[in-house]
Homo-oligomer: A and B are copies of this chain.
């Protein structure tokens, strides 16, 4: 029989359609063809993007020239813009706000062929260091209350360019999904005096059925109320509200677990399109005892359709316990243990 499951943090419901219980091989991965053309993110094409905001580059090389390994540039077609004042207007029932914020692209490598599962651990650390730097920088702007870092990989997941990149959109409001997380976590904290995210991940680690992999500092698991088949969260074991507080040791541990998790997903599901989203504390909650940053990896194997738009309930044809078992079995690279 199918089950309705409720996410303990956001309170959202999903249908785990157990009858369908789809295995990795039951999903048809749809890859759309891309027009060949000059890639603006490739090394040598630095002039094809707006001027860089920051870059990690060889000493002696100039901005917007070669010699970089990470480059952050404004999105050419920004959803929100940096220049201007934040003005809220009300007219009848309608509220609007000027579209102030930022929209940036983090180019993750000079090499067009790279991907999260192929990057070296060092390169992944550098990507996450760039995330941390941009987060810190943008959260210090008084008009900005949240920074959404995300990655769309594959056309089907919304990527318009193939070159490995992540994006960020900084918003003047705390987004509804983050508000829902805060509300659920606050409620639990007020009742139990503990961080709900910490409690869930230690429960999952002892229960094991939904755990994909763990290392000293991180755990990757398929959440109880997964919206999507093979949805996987990566979360620090120790309490930490904001990604901006990651030290270099944690950056290294995160890089290790993320590379291993992505390799398992890519191998099991034949390079599926996916979205990856960072959930981190909004302004005002950086030291929160109940918010806990994490990464959500969302393979795009199903189509969100009328039922989901109408209700907000997601139908997931693969139970997270089944997904986690497949991912646990999948091969993964082994690395040297790094020490603090």
- List chain A positions with a Cβ less than 8 A from chain B: 1-6, 8, 11-13, 15-20, 30, 32, 77-81, 84, 92-99, 146, 148, 150-152, 155-159, 167, 169, 171-173, 175-178, 180, 188, 196, 199-200, 203, 224-225, 275-279, 296, 298, 303-307, 309-313, 315
- Given the complex, which residues of B lie within 8 Å of A95, measured CB to CB? 5-6, 8
Alpha-carbon distance between A309 and B169 when the two chains are bound, in angstroms: 13
A158 contacts which of B8, B94, B225, B305 (Cβ < 8 Å)? B305
The interface residues of chain A, by DSSP majority, are classed as: mixed
**Contact assessment for B15 and A99 in the assembled complex, using a CB-CB cutoff below 8 Å:** yes
A83 nearest CB neighbor, chain B only:
B1
The 8 Å CB contact of A305, one of B2, B146, B275, is: B275
- Ranked 10 nearest A-B pairs via Cβ: A158-B305, A150-B306, A2-B99, A175-B311, A277-B310, A8-B93, A158-B303, A176-B312, A275-B306, A177-B312
Cβ distance A281 to chain B, nearest Cβ, rounded Å: 14
A303 with B157: in contact, given A173-B4, A275-B309, A310-B148 (CB under 8 Å)? yes
CB distance from A288 to the nearest CB of B (A): 18
Q: Inside 8 A of A310's CB, which chain B residues have their CB? A: 148, 150, 175, 177, 277-279, 296
Chain B residues positioned under 8 Å from A11 (CB to CB) = 176
Please name 9 further chain A to chain B contacts, defined as beta carbons within 8 Å, in addition to the given A152-B306, A177-B310, sorted by A numbering.
A2-B79, A6-B97, A16-B99, A19-B78, A93-B203, A152-B305, A155-B303, A277-B309, A296-B309
B150 touching A98 by the CB < 8 A rule?
Answer: no
Query: Which residues on the B side are within 8 Å of A157 (C-beta)?
Result: 303, 305-306
Minimum CB–CB distance for A90 against chain B, Å = 10
The residue of chain B having its C-beta at the shortest distance from the C-beta of A86 within the complex is B4
Minimum CB–CB distance for A267 against chain B, Å: 22
Query: Known contacts being A148-B310, A311-B177, is A1 close to B99, with CB within 8 Å?
Result: yes
* CB pair A81 B2 closer than 8 Å: yes
Taking the nearest CB of chain B, how far is it from the CB of A191, in angstroms? 11
Query: Do B80 and A2 touch across chains, with their CB atoms under 8 A apart?
Result: yes
Question: Bound complex: CA of A30 vs CA of B156, how far in Å?
Answer: 11
Task: Report which of B99, B277, B313 forms a contact with A4, defined as CB distance below 8 A.
Answer: B99
